[in-house]
Structure 1
Amino acid sequence: MEAFDNTLLSNYIQTVQQRTQALYENTRGSKQSSMLAEDCLEELFSALEELSIAEEELRQQNEMLIAAQSEIEAERQRYQELFEFAPDAYLITDLYGIIREANRVALQQFNIAHRHLIQKPLISFIPEHQRQAFRSILNQLPTIYRVQEWEVMVCGRKREPFIAAITVEAVLDQQGKATALRWLIRDITNRKRTEAQLQDTQLQNLELIEIDRLKDQFMATISHELRTPMNAILGFSRLIGDRVALLGDGRLNQMVDHVVRNSHHLLAMIEELLDFSKLKSRKLELRPAGFDLV
């Protein structure tokens, strides 16, 4: 849109005014012949005044139009800067995926010059094994209007393929008909790698938790299995100690006492293992009892 140049109209109005004034001066000498001319000239002056008012209004509208053009240009420049320096790749294509516009990040991702990217089909950067699915979604976009976080493998020129999260939206005209497509392409390779590492870590944690559970279960089972024979060993050791005491053999009595002490020690360790297993499984029961603190 261009502002209307009213300079020619203003000059034309001034010229008509000058000629009208000259004609009026020339016809003032003859009273009889100039009455009709004076009436015509008066009407002409009125028309010129109205035309001057219209010219002034036109000038004001022209100034408003220039101001509106400046605002539109500033808004267009702001949009262009947002488009060009966005942190993600932005593309505008037609409904068939032919690239019309591309920002700086898109050129970096595809590793291609701007003049070579424009008019190129976007599907040419998609691996062959994914092109059928890509084409299927592309054909549906004029009716479904939007697809968000669509994960696709993208292959740039002479660089490693990367995983992209694509959000694409149809541009609609005043009748609601799709006329173009806007694409946001985000490289999520690092995010996917981090997610995979996090998943591996979570799996390892689950394995460690299961190993720890099996260890506790094993310790509890072994402790129960050991406590029964240890009680038997301790009981029989005491019986043997009573018999040996009657014989009066000091050396043999010392050996039996050694067996009894070690049996008590092993039994105490087994009891501690059982208490620890119960504590970890939150099954330890406290038995409060009174005692003389002094």
Structure 2
Amino acid sequence: MTDLRQGSVVSLHSDVKNTSSSAIPAMQSIVSREFFDAVFEQAQPMYMAQPDGTVIYANTGYKEHFRPGMLELDDEASLPALPADHMEILRRVADTKAVETKLVSLQAGKDVEYFLSRHFPIFDDAKHMIAICGSFINSTRQVNAEAKLRREKRRFLDITRAASDWIWETDADGRLTFVSDRVVQAVGLPPLLLKGKLLAELGIFKPEEDGSNKAENAIERHVPFRSVPLEIQDTTGDIKIFNISGVPVFNEKGRFTGYRGTSDDITARLLAEDEALSSKADLEHAINEITSKNIQLEVTAKKAVESARAKNTFLANMSHELRTPLNAIIGFAEVIGLETFGPISDKYREYVGDILNSGKHLLSLIEDILDIARIESEKIPIEIVETSLDGLIADAYVLVQTHAVEKNLDLGSIRTKTGINLAVDPTRCLQILVNLLGNAVKFTPEKGQVGIDVDVVDEQFADITVWDTGPGIAEEDQQKIFEAFKQAHEGVYSRGTDGVGLGLTLSLKLAKLMGGDITVQSSLSTGSRFTVRLRLVAPDDAKKK
């Protein structure tokens, strides 16, 4: 027999040769080969080896599972050594002389088999260890079942953790027998301190609207209950609210053994719901206030519209009533001035001239008031047609020329040859230009200058700028002059001039009605530049004359 480290083994026979061990003859005196075959060949896999690792015996089951090569060898030949993991166990048993139990695995194709192995020493009468025996019980089904059970348990725990914050169990008396570890995160107490307590001792069940306790009633009747709020004070003194759900448990004989259930922390959700309800109430209150204010605004706006309509109607009626006798006054003054019924003195001729000038001025103011009233009531007609800008400038120039000559003003910078066609209402556009040129002439000192510049913007608009060398307008007053009646009371243009301050207001409104605008650039002592922006005729627009 060679050393175990060389990996050789000997088989056990009735006529074993070349062995120096005293164990073999001693065992052969007790048992025979037939005894081993009868007792062990049909048993679970097993082996028997000397303390030095020399295999004395290995049954067919062991050979098939752990050493298939042994099946090809005859009984007299040297057999392969034990697998490495078995050798490690054998050495420990040889050293400790104690029984060792271990679960070992074996790769069987694509599958893995598991064996519960028991390795124990064999002693002779003198308490000398003469052999080590190992038996293997196939535990694959048990191991797989236990592994499956562990997976199912983990799966159950994962689902439970995902569905609830902590789980619990009670006995038939309603006292807690199990609480999951996550209860520590929920209430700050370890499970050990909660075991033995009633659920009702953990906190206060929130009663139903009728005052009943849903959970306690269900527990008394051994029926399920779901989502019953339980208020628990944690270790920090904060109140947390949990939804408690439970189902009764009965044994195979139908005897009630307790409850199992889950608990969900709904504190944050309830706080969010309370905040949402509070926000909803605040929002509804704000909406009610806004609705009330809107109603008030609608009433106020309606009154304002009615007031404006009444004002415009009044102005229109008054203007009409004033214009009729005023036309008669102007007509009679013209007849007197023509001396139709006989000559008049120079003094009377002067009076007649004053009557004519004042009457015409008053008639102009009345027309402006009527136009303002028509615009605000959206009754002023606007007819957009293709119109020559040069013709409009020339007509406006003629209307202001007499007054300009009287003041010795230089009008040489008025451009009348632009070749530009506008998409405007010609009557209203001329009215704007006359207003702007008239103001420039009116407020520019004697021997000053008045001019018109024209620029094309983005091939869509024409900027027509009427400029003068008059006194200018302070920046803080530049928007005020476009408000009705400002000139007569607050505007800088009121100094030493007549009028009621409707010209610029009317001009701006007319420009906007034609899709344009009027802006001003001015500073004191440097003059003013009023720019009216009006639309050009589009290339594909139908031409109107």
Normalization by structure 1: what TM-score? 0.57
Q: Specify the alignment match of 1:25 in structure 2.
A: none
Q: Specify the alignment match of 1:195 in structure 2.
A: 273
Q: What is the CA deviation profile of residues 158-217 of structure 1, one whole-angstrom value per residue up to 9, with x for unaligned ones?
A: 431101122222234334544232221111111111222223333344444444544554
2:220 aligned to which of 139, 144, 147:
139
Aligned CA distance change for structure 1 residues 239 and 81 (closer, same or farther; 3 Å): closer
SS of structure 1 residue aligned to 2:243: strand
SS of structure 2 residue aligned to 1:159: coil
Q: Distance in 1 between matches of 2:281 and 2:205?
A: 33
Q: Specify the alignment match of 1:86 in structure 2.
A: 161
- Residue type at the aligned position of 2:179: A
SS of structure 2 residue aligned to 1:97: coil
Q: Distance in 2 between matches of 1:136 and 1:75?
A: 35
**Larger fraction in strand:** 2
- Residue type at the aligned position of 1:109: A
Q: Specify the alignment match of 1:4 in structure 2.
A: none
SS of structure 2 residue aligned to 1:174: coil
Q: Distance in 1 between matches of 2:176 and 2:317?
A: 97
Aligned CA distance change for structure 1 residues 232 and 112 (closer, same or farther; 3 Å): closer
Preserved CA contact (<8 Å) 1:166 1:184: yes
Alignment of 1:213-252 (within 5 A): 213-245=291-323, 246-247=325-326, 249=358
Q: Distance in 1 between matches of 2:369 and 2:377?
A: 12
Q: Specify the alignment match of 1:163 in structure 2.
A: 241
Q: Specify the alignment match of 1:72 in structure 2.
A: 146
Preserved CA contact (<8 Å) 1:91 1:99: yes
Preserved CA contact (<8 Å) 1:165 1:185: yes
Preserved CA contact (<8 Å) 2:223 2:247: no
Percent identical among aligned pairs is 12
Q: Specify the alignment match of 1:116 in structure 2.
A: 193
Q: Distance in 2 between matches of 1:74 and 1:260?
A: 97
Return 5+ residue gaps in structure 1 as ranges: 1-17, 23-44, 269-291
How far does residue 106 in structure 1 lie from its aligned partner after superposition?
0.7
Aligned CA distance change for structure 1 residues 120 and 51 (closer, same or farther; 3 Å): same
Preserved CA contact (<8 Å) 1:97 1:123: no
Q: What is the CA deviation profile of residues 212-269 of structure 1, one whole-angstrom value per residue up to 9, with x for unaligned ones?
A: 544554444444444444433323322321333333655765665565455456545x
Q: Specify the alignment match of 1:173 in structure 2.
A: 251
Preserved CA contact (<8 Å) 1:150 1:167: yes
Preserved CA contact (<8 Å) 2:205 2:230: no
Aligned CA distance change for structure 1 residues 262 and 65 (closer, same or farther; 3 Å): same
Aligned CA distance change for structure 1 residues 262 and 167 (closer, same or farther; 3 Å): farther
Q: Specify the alignment match of 1:38 in structure 2.
A: none
Return 5+ residue gaps in structure 2 as ranges: 1-28, 46-60, 62-114, 116-135, 330-357, 379-540
Aligned CA distance change for structure 1 residues 227 and 115 (closer, same or farther; 3 Å): closer
Q: Distance in 1 between matches of 2:256 and 2:42?
A: 42
Preserved CA contact (<8 Å) 1:83 1:103: no
Aligned CA distance change for structure 1 residues 236 and 162 (closer, same or farther; 3 Å): same
SS of structure 2 residue aligned to 1:240: helix
- For the pair shown, the structure with the greater C-alpha radius of gyration is 2
Aligned CA distance change for structure 1 residues 158 and 95 (closer, same or farther; 3 Å): farther
The two structures, once aligned, show a CA RMSD in angstroms of: 4.6
Q: Distance in 1 between matches of 2:252 and 2:238?
A: 41
2:172 aligned to which of 83, 86, 95:
95
Q: Specify the alignment match of 2:181 in structure 1.
A: 104
User: Would you say how many aligned residue pairs link Structure 1 and Structure 2?
Assistant: 231
